[in-house]
Structures are given as C-alpha cells and as structure tokens.
Chain A
Amino acid sequence: MRTGKRFQLRLARALLALLAILMLLPMVQTFLYSFSSIPEMKAFMKTRGSRDEAAWMEAHLSPHILSLGQYEQILIKDHTVLGYFINSVGYAAAILFGQALIIPALAFGLSKFRFRGREVIFFLILILMLLPFQVTMVPNVLTLRFLGMLNTPWAVVLPMWFAPFYIFLLRQYMIALPDELLEAASMDGAGPFRSFLRIVLPVCRPVLGAAAALSFAENWNLVEQPLTYLSSRPELMPLSTVFNQLAGENTGFEFAGAALYILPALLVYLFFQEDILSGIQLTEMK
C-alpha cells in the first residue's frame, strides 16, 4: 500500500513535469529561434507546408549560429513591427489607466456602502460578466456609433474601462474585508474618501495586482475589438492581430517579433505572479 502510494506520487510528478515543459516550450522555443539569423529562419520556414511524405521539417531547438540579425531588422532597419508594438503599448496603457481610475472606486462603492438597490446593481454586473463577447459587443457598437468613435482608438479603449470581470474580482475581495478596519478609521475622523485611499487600496494590494496583471494580459492580446471596431483603419491595429499575417509572409524575423511581444507579458507575469496566486478569490459568490 505504502509503496503503491509513493509510486503514484512519483508518476503524478513525472506527468506534471511533462505538462510543465509543454506549457513553457512555446515561449522558450520562440526566444531561442529569435536568435537565429534571418536567412537560416527563412530557409527553415520555407520547409513548412510540404506534402512530401519523405520529408520532415528539421527538428531543432537552438539556432545553429547565434545572431542578432532578426532584432536588428525589427528594431533598427524596419519599423513595421515596432509601430504595431507601440500601438499595443498605447492600448494597454490607456485601458489600464482608465480602469485604475474607475473600477476600484466602483467596487468600493458596491461593497462598503449600504443603500437600496446595491444588490440589484451587482446582479446586473454579474449578468453582464457572463454574457458572451458576441452579445456585449453589440451595445458597445451602438454607443460607439452614436458617439462617432468607431474606427478611432477610443472604440477599443473606452468600453474596456468598465469591464465587468474586474469589477466583480475587486468587489469579491473588498466585501470580505472586515468592517472594523473602516470603523477604526472613522473614529479617527477619516471619511470614506480618505479611508479608501489610505486603508482599502493598500489592503487590497494582492487583488489590485492580480487584476492589473490579468487585465494587461487581456489588453495585450486584443483581437475581437480591433478587428471589428477598427476594420477600416489597419494602421491602428495592435500587434496581436498582425502575427497571423506575419507568420504567412515568411519574413525571417517573425520570431524576434514574437519574442518582443512576449517580453512585456513575461515581465508583468514575473512581477505579479504572487499577487495572482493569492489575490484571486472568486468564491463566496451569492
């Protein structure tokens, strides 16, 4: 019995290790390939799509000769990728900025104030969160058209400022905070505004970090919104919608582009990893 259990654990661990490698491999491979020279990558990518039964693509992980040629191409010689990258940075920054101003305050208002209709508002936000994008896209389009914002960057940015998922995430965390925290502060003469800034926000650090990281991940991988709302302005697209094309063109520097795109997400992940693991408490859903 004992040895059986130990064997099970060992097996579980081996399977987990295999899974972990598979999960990480795409990123690792992208970074390794980004240091191949452009001609080498061009030749390699040309072997794709062959129907020849005898032929295989070369299976290798690391470049044959280390080269910074791809990076030189995308950072210095040709600024197409960099331009889309800057668009992406702009969208992510503008969305996060608005969310930071609006969402924590709204979540605070919905969790630490008692007024009639609070539960109804929260319920409506929950419903909104559960609606598929195909459905919520439609009201967004109607308003954006009314405001004349279609085919401008605002079309992508503004609706995201009120993204229901992050309201939900923050509200669930704040409602679990003990009221004594705020009562003590109001004894000392601090009003709600001051308590919000000085007590609630610092205490909510993990969930704020988690929400910021998750929101960044979403904003960094925008596809549906730009494709729909910016359909006649291809120059405004973020990098995420362009890779599809880049992969088909066989430019030889697609991996440096991909690595450049992964890098900020990787930094965000490393910085906020602990917050995500400790800040996400969705349960206690009523």
Chain B
Amino acid sequence: MYKKFRQAWPFLLPGLAGLLLFYFIPFVGGVWYSLTDGSFENKFVGLQNYTTVWQNQMFQLGLRNTMELSLICAPALFLLSFLLAAVLHRIRPAGAFFRSSVLMPYLMPSSAVLIIWLLWFDYGGPVNRLLTVLGGQRVDWLMGAELRLPVILLFLWKNLGFCVIVFLSALQAIPDVLYEYATLEGAGFRKQTFAITLPLVVPSAFLVLILSFVSAFRIFKEVFFIGGAYPEEPLYTLQNYMNNMYGKLNYQNVTTAAYIFAGMVFVLFGVLFLSQRQALRRLNGGD
C-alpha cells in the first residue's frame, strides 16, 4: 500500500532493533562461543566443542529424550486435533460448547493444574482405580519410565485446543458450495474428503504439525511440573542439560548444544516441508 520506506521505518524501528539485539546478532555472534575454549585467552578450537558436546552422555540422554517425547507428542497432538476438528466441524451449530471447553486449557496455567494431575495419577488415585475396575493392575505412574504418560497427557491436555482451532478455521474456510456440487455429481463422503477437504487443508495441516513440534520441544515445562528441576533419567530433557551447563557458566557448551539442536530441527522441518509438497502434488494431480 504505502511505497515510501521513509514512512515505514518509525513503525519498524523499535521492533527490528529489539529483534536484532536479542535474537539475530547474538545468534550469529554466538557461533564464536561455540568455536572457542572459554579460557582466559579464549583460544580458537575449531569444532572441538561440537565433538565434546556430541559425545557427552548427558547431552545424548537429553537430546534422545527430547526427540522421543516430541516424536510422540507432536504427531499425537496433530492427529487428535485433526480428528476433533473434523468431528466438531460436522456437528457445527451444536459444537460451540465443545469448542470452547477444548480451547479452555490452552489459556489455563498448567502449573496450577499440576496438583490435580498428581492426585489423578497417584498410586491410590482415580486413574489406577479406573484401571482396576477395568480388570487391570495398578501402575506406579509417578516413578521411573511410567512418569512419561502423565507428562505427555498434561502436554496434550494443554495444547490440544489451539491446534483444533487452527484446523477448524481452515475447515470453515472451505466454501460449502464445493461440497454441494460434489454431492450433485454423486461423490460420496470419502471421495469428497480426498478430493476437496484434504488438498485445501494441507497447508494449515503442515503449519499445525510444525507448531506442534515447536511446542513439543518445550515439553520441559510439563517435565518440570511433574518431575521437578532434577528429573529421573526417562524425563531428563535437553533443556535440563542446557540449564545445567548454564548454571556452571559453561557458555561454550550451551551455545554448541543449541546449534546442534537447531541443525537437527531444521533437517526435520525440511523433510516435513518436502513431504508436504509431495502430498500436495499427489492430491492435486491424482485422480
């Protein structure tokens, strides 16, 4: 609309200055930290920090757990929210109450809800009661590897609503005429789903998947709520490693770990992006 940059900069300046100061400049400058040894002379050591961090057992544990938890949480969040949005979309007028009750946890501080969560998953709590009623055995949810389930469920409880809303708005943006026309042409529900709904929803779906991963990488929050600042091994995440290194003022390792993780995340997102393009092409080109 406005063509003169002269008019734009008062709007851009404060925001861009902050982004440069807090994010972009130190992000580039931080590379220097990851290549030096942090001693008084601050010698250049090449990629030595990278090999050290990569071989560090706690880093490996944190990275593995973060990746495992994210690879469970993000796809689960994605699929659940898509299913839920599809159902909510079909029962449209009556869905208002359900829609808002699903969205509500996203706005709630999960820190406050954690006390209830710990009660539900207690050895003598409601979850185990339900299990025994269904003929199962009690499980010690708050110990060892089982801790992961309450952590994952708390994450899903909290984040489901936002993804459902994004999907819903994508579904609602599809004009009804398309479906009416398809019905007239004799296309059934399945055919309509593949020919109309999916191709139009793929871009939003891709965004939801990426955002699910971004929030799943922050599962440290739920880990901290349920497992504390020093969790047991199955819950030790990358953030724990980084906080630990940060506490020791080891900025070399903190920055190095961050760049390794950033690299891995971008490979993951690149693969997802390419497969989205493939999927779009197949849906648009196919039958």
Q: Which residues of chain A come closer than 8 Å to B23, judged between CB atoms?
A: 128, 136, 139-140, 159, 162, 164
Residue A221, interface by CB 8 Å? yes
From DSSP, what is the main secondary structure of chain A's interface residues? Answer: helix
Contact B111 A130 (CB under 8 A): no
Counting chain B CB atoms within 10 Å of each CB, the highest count among A109, A114, A146, A158 belongs to A109
Contact B15 A59 (CB under 8 A): no
Contact B166 A244 (CB under 8 A): no
Contact B97 A244 (CB under 8 A): no
Contact A167 B258 (CB under 8 A): no
Counting chain B CB atoms within 10 Å of each CB, the highest count among A106, A113, A134 belongs to A134
Q: Which of A237-251 contact B (CB under 8 A)?
A: 239-241, 243-244, 246-247
Partner among B5, B104, B173 whose Cβ is within 8 Å of the Cβ of A24: B104
Shortest Cβ gap from A58 to chain B (Å) = 9
Proximity string of chain B (2-37) to chain A, C-beta cutoff 8 Å, 1 when within and 0 when not: 111101111110111011011111110110010000
Q: How large is the interface on A (under 10, 10 to 19, 20 to 34, 35 or more residues)?
A: 35 or more
A29 vs B160: C-alpha distance in the bound complex, in angstroms? 20
Contact A182 B165 (CB under 8 A): no
Residue A27, interface by CB 8 Å? yes
Residue B54, interface by CB 8 Å? no
Partner among A109, A231, A240 whose Cβ is within 8 Å of the Cβ of B109: A240
**B38-46, B176-184, B218-226, B277-285 - interface stretch:** B218-226
Shortest Cβ gap from A254 to chain B (Å) = 5
Taking CB as reference atom, which chain B residue is nearest A257? Answer: B112
Taking CB as reference atom, which chain A residue is nearest B118? Answer: A247
Known contacts A23-B105, A139-B22, A16 near B87 by CB under 8 Å:
yes
Q: Which residues of chain B come closer than 8 Å to A280, judged between CB atoms?
A: 165-166, 169
Proximity string of chain A (128-162) to chain B, C-beta cutoff 8 Å, 1 when within and 0 when not: 11111111111111110010000000000011011
Counting chain B CB atoms within 10 Å of each CB, the highest count among A113, A124, A273 belongs to A113
Q: Which residues of chain A come closer than 8 Å to B100, judged between CB atoms?
A: 273, 277
Known contacts A23-B101, A142-B33, A247-B118, A228 near B243 by CB under 8 Å:
yes
Counting chain A CB atoms within 10 Å of each CB, the highest count among B161, B220, B246 belongs to B246
Contact B265 A131 (CB under 8 A): yes
Residue B238, interface by CB 8 Å? yes
Partner among B102, B224, B259 whose Cβ is within 8 Å of the Cβ of A19: B102
Residue A4, interface by CB 8 Å? no
Residue A75, interface by CB 8 Å? no
A261 vs B108: C-alpha distance in the bound complex, in angstroms? 9
Contact B2 A192 (CB under 8 A): yes
Shortest Cβ gap from A197 to chain B (Å) = 11
Contact A265 B14 (CB under 8 A): no
Contact A224 B221 (CB under 8 A): yes
Contact B109 A281 (CB under 8 A): no
Residue B217, interface by CB 8 Å? yes
Q: Which residues of chain B come closer than 8 Å to A66, judged between CB atoms?
A: none
A231 vs B88: C-alpha distance in the bound complex, in angstroms? 44
Q: Which residues of chain A come closer than 8 Å to B1, judged between CB atoms?
A: 112-114, 179, 182-183
Taking CB as reference atom, which chain B residue is nearest A113? Answer: B8
Q: Which residues of chain B come closer than 8 Å to A228, judged between CB atoms?
A: 243, 246
Contact B124 A114 (CB under 8 A): no
Residue A187, interface by CB 8 Å? no
Residue B261, interface by CB 8 Å? yes
A224 vs B27: C-alpha distance in the bound complex, in angstroms? 19
Proximity string of chain B (90-114) to chain A, C-beta cutoff 8 Å, 1 when within and 0 when not: 1100100111111111111111111
Residue A13, interface by CB 8 Å? yes
Known contacts A134-B238, A224-B220, A162 near B169 by CB under 8 Å:
no
**Which 5 residue pairs of A and B lie closest in terms of their CB atoms, listed nearest first?**
A106-B15, A109-B11, A139-B26, A132-B217, A113-B8
Known A217-B107, A223-B224, A244-B111; further 4 A-B contacts with Cβ < 8 A = A30-B116, A138-B254, A231-B247, A266-B107
List, sorted by A's number, 6 A–B pairs whose CB atoms are closer than 8 Å.
A19-B84, A23-B160, A135-B262, A224-B218, A243-B112, A283-B170
Chain B interface (Cβ within 8 Å of chain A)?
Answer: 1-5, 7-12, 14-16, 18-19, 21-27, 29-30, 33, 84, 87-88, 90-91, 94, 97-119, 122-126, 129, 138, 140, 142, 157, 160-162, 165-166, 169-170, 173, 203-204, 207, 210, 214, 217-218, 220-221, 224-225, 228-229, 238-239, 242-243, 246-247, 251, 254-255, 257-259, 261-262, 265, 269
